[in-house]
Chains A and B, each alone.
Chain A
Amino acid sequence: MTSSFLPAKPDLKFKPHLLRNRGNKLLTGIAGLFSLIAVVPLIAVLAFVLFKGISVIRPMMFFELPPPPGLEGGGIGNALIGTLLVTGISCLFSIPVGVGGGIYLAEYSGNNKFSAFVRFGTNVLAGVPSIIAGVFIYGLIVATRILFGNSYSAVAGGLALSVLMLPTIIKTTDEGLKLVPQELRWGSLGVGASKFVTTMKVVLPSAVAPIATGVVLAIARSAGETAPLIFTALFSPFWPEGVFKPIATMSVLIYNFAIMPYDAQVTLAWAASFVLVILILAMNLLARWISGFAQR
């Protein structure tokens, strides 16, 4: 006789018709659909830019100037040089200041009010819209002609970009240095090294990979920035005439030429987009490679 105390044999079979199981399936489907919607435009942008770029690009474009409106042909040579130059100028300022500020935060600041202020300032600066960086440099340098009487210039553009790079570099330096085990600092101080030697010879070399990753990502981002440049570096249809003169950059070229009614200009905009995207993707891959290198 079966005892009535024993429960009936439980039915553990999966019942797909249950509301909860149907709901589960529905929600899973929706999440999948959302990811698809999120990914498709991304692939579309990338594929279109690459496809369009490859179809219009000619090697000679790297060595030619853009044509005057209405004429055919031409290239993006001056814009390519300009982008490299302006980005280089921005690095000259933002890397020393950013790494130095990061060193201060990670190595020298106790948890005092000043460092809290610097951290807060870094976060706020990171949220400042890129166009504001342009407005700032316009008001500070371009309008005042403070740089030896020059108004629009490559230097002004570079400084505007460096305002945007600064917070990224400070943050990655700060975080990279914090990953260095405290014992390493003790070891160095323990043999009588000064704080300066400890920081420069032991701590900083150990954090080179994460810092370099952050710097490369910051450069990649600034190479594609346009808003801070349109009224600081301005544009120029000619080869660069020095760092104190207006200069062409690829991003401003894309902006200026995209809305022109001439095919030659639009073609150059696509070519510049292609080069810029390849450049930036390559730098992102480089950054990944560096940070992977660090984890080994």
Chain B
Amino acid sequence: MMFPSGVTSLPVPMTLSSHSANLPDDQVAITCEDVTISYGAFEAVRNVYLELPRGKVTAFIGPSGCGKSTVLRCFNRMNDLIPSFGLKGRIVYEGQDLYAPNVDPVEVRRRIGMVFQRPNPFPKSIYENIAFGARINGYSGDMDELVERSLRRAAVWDECKDKLNESGYSLSGGQQQRLCIARTIAVQPDVILMDEPCSALDPISTLKVEETMHELKKEFTIVIVTHNMQQAVRVSDMTAFYNAVAVEGGSGKVGYLVEYDETANIFNNPQQQATQEYVSGRFG
């Protein structure tokens, strides 16, 4: 194993199991403060401290069941749809606690968009797929232009431009996923969450989606959950590694944040044994 020397920016441990990069306040998009998420009696992930930098790509990696998707889905309150969902701690976005009682989850989602694991275009035309969200957000500009611009930025314009009135399902899986990305950026959110956006795609489509991400990170704060460590290396600036441990009492495994740092550090000079083993492929 190679340990590059001269890495100095070590994360400051907040608790035994969690780390947080220290960023100036004006560079932070979302902050997790001691977040514990549970479904009924079952704890999914415990004591997460995290600061997501604005205008960067942050990757969440870790083995199955470590809670990385769970944390991601809290950022735009998608977990609200699960009746038994419960959250302790605070998730702060632009100075506001997302789970404060007076916060409207619908307004949260208008600012924090999401791309899902499997492509899920609406059963409408390609054009309407883009226009739907924009209209909901009260978009007052030129809709045709917005549709074209969004499709271009999602790198799927060439495939779509001649069939804007056809169903979104007429596209291939990879194209559908980029259509979903276009749909998300048409709303012009501040943050885009991506939950394993390439897990249902073939390698070539994956590559195209990754290229799209590189374009997008110039404008958006992106958080991506991925199973693919190479993908994390390729697209992200920051990486958070989650792991799962069995808990006493035996209610299954609970996830926790092991280490959070610049991607290069996570992969080349991890501070934790578990991270070291995971990124070198010894488990997971």
Verify whether A and B have any Cβ pair under 8 Å.
yes
Residues of A near any B CB (own CB < 8 A): 110-111, 181, 183-195, 197, 201-202, 205-206
Known A202-B122, A205-B123, A206-B123: A193·B116 in contact at CB below 8 Å:
no
Of the candidates B107, B120, B136, B137, which one forms a contact with A187 in the assembled complex, judged by CB atoms under 8 Å apart? B120
Question: Does B121 lie within 8 Å of A186, measured CB to CB?
Answer: no
Residues of chain A lying within 8 A (CB to CB) of residue B78: 186, 189-190
Of the candidates A181, A194, A195, A197, which one forms a contact with B120 in the assembled complex, judged by CB atoms under 8 Å apart? A181
Question: Does B133 lie within 8 Å of A186, measured CB to CB?
Answer: no
The total of chain B residues at the interface (CB under 8 A) is: 27
Question: Does A184 lie within 8 Å of B122, measured CB to CB?
Answer: yes
A105 CB to nearest chain B CB (Å): 14
A109 CB to nearest chain B CB (Å): 10
Interface 0/1 of B108-152, CB less than 8 Å to A: 011101111010111100000000110011000000000000000
A248 CB to nearest chain B CB (Å): 44
Question: Does B114 lie within 8 Å of A190, measured CB to CB?
Answer: yes
A296 CB to nearest chain B CB (Å): 11
- In the bound complex, CA of A296 to CA of B8 (Å): 59
Question: Does A192 lie within 8 Å of B121, measured CB to CB?
Answer: no
B83 CB to nearest chain A CB (Å): 4
- In the bound complex, CA of A192 to CA of B114 (Å): 10
- In the bound complex, CA of A13 to CA of B98 (Å): 76
Q: From B118, which residue of chain A is reached at the shortest CB distance?
A: A183
Residues of chain A lying within 8 A (CB to CB) of residue B136: 191-194, 197
Main SS class of interface, A: helix
| Given A187-B180, A190-B114, 12 additional A-B pairs, CB 8 A | A183-B116, A184-B123, A186-B114, A187-B116, A187-B122, A191-B109, A191-B133, A191-B183, A191-B187, A192-B106, A193-B133, A202-B123
Asked if B58 is an interface residue, CB under 8 A from chain A, the answer is no
Q: From B128, which residue of chain A is reached at the shortest CB distance?
A: A201
Residues of chain A lying within 8 A (CB to CB) of residue B187: 191-192
Residues of chain A lying within 8 A (CB to CB) of residue B116: 183, 186-187, 190
Question: Does A192 lie within 8 Å of B137, measured CB to CB?
Answer: yes
A103 CB to nearest chain B CB (Å): 16
Question: Does A192 lie within 8 Å of B110, measured CB to CB?
Answer: yes
Question: Does B123 lie within 8 Å of A192, measured CB to CB?
Answer: no
Q: From A192, which residue of chain B is reached at the shortest CB distance?
A: B110
Q: From B134, which residue of chain A is reached at the shortest CB distance?
A: A191
Question: Does B109 lie within 8 Å of A192, measured CB to CB?
Answer: yes
Q: From A196, which residue of chain B is reached at the shortest CB distance?
A: B106
- In the bound complex, CA of A107 to CA of B187 (Å): 25
Interface 0/1 of B187-215, CB less than 8 Å to A: 10000000000000000000000000000
- CB-CB nearest 9 A-B residue pairs: A191-B133, A192-B110, A183-B120, A190-B114, A110-B83, A187-B120, A192-B109, A193-B136, A194-B106
- In the bound complex, CA of A194 to CA of B109 (Å): 10
Question: Does B109 lie within 8 Å of A189, measured CB to CB?
Answer: yes
Known A190-B78, A190-B114, A193-B106: A201·B137 in contact at CB below 8 Å:
no
Known A183-B120, A184-B122, A202-B122: A190·B113 in contact at CB below 8 Å:
yes
Residues of chain B lying within 8 A (CB to CB) of residue A111: 83
Q: From A193, which residue of chain B is reached at the shortest CB distance?
A: B136
Asked if B76 is an interface residue, CB under 8 A from chain A, the answer is yes
- In the bound complex, CA of A110 to CA of B83 (Å): 7
Asked if B175 is an interface residue, CB under 8 A from chain A, the answer is no
Residues of B near any A CB (own CB < 8 A): 76, 78, 81, 83, 106-107, 109-111, 113-116, 118, 120-123, 132-133, 136-137, 180, 183-184, 186-187
- Central interface residue in A190, A193, A195, by most chain B CB within 10 Å: A190
Known A110-B83, A205-B123, A206-B123: A191·B113 in contact at CB below 8 Å:
yes
- In the bound complex, CA of A205 to CA of B106 (Å): 21
Residues of chain A lying within 8 A (CB to CB) of residue B76: 190
Q: From A190, which residue of chain B is reached at the shortest CB distance?
A: B114
B91 CB to nearest chain A CB (Å): 17
- In the bound complex, CA of A288 to CA of B133 (Å): 34
Can you list 6 A-B pairs with a CB-CB distance of less than 8 A? A111-B83, A183-B118, A183-B120, A185-B81, A187-B180, A191-B136
Known A186-B116, A187-B121: A192·B107 in contact at CB below 8 Å:
yes
- In the bound complex, CA of A187 to CA of B137 (Å): 14
Residues of chain B lying within 8 A (CB to CB) of residue A183: 116, 118, 120
- In the bound complex, CA of A1 to CA of B282 (Å): 60
Q: From B83, which residue of chain A is reached at the shortest CB distance?
A: A110
- In the bound complex, CA of A213 to CA of B184 (Å): 34
Residues of chain B lying within 8 A (CB to CB) of residue A191: 109-110, 113, 132-133, 136-137, 183-184, 186-187
- In the bound complex, CA of A197 to CA of B110 (Å): 14
Residues of chain A lying within 8 A (CB to CB) of residue B180: 187
- In the bound complex, CA of A185 to CA of B120 (Å): 9
Q: From B76, which residue of chain A is reached at the shortest CB distance?
A: A190
A111 CB to nearest chain B CB (Å): 7
Q: From A205, which residue of chain B is reached at the shortest CB distance?
A: B123
B220 CB to nearest chain A CB (Å): 14
Known A183-B118, A201-B132, A205-B123: A190·B184 in contact at CB below 8 Å:
yes
B74 CB to nearest chain A CB (Å): 14
- In the bound complex, CA of A188 to CA of B110 (Å): 11
- In the bound complex, CA of A194 to CA of B138 (Å): 13
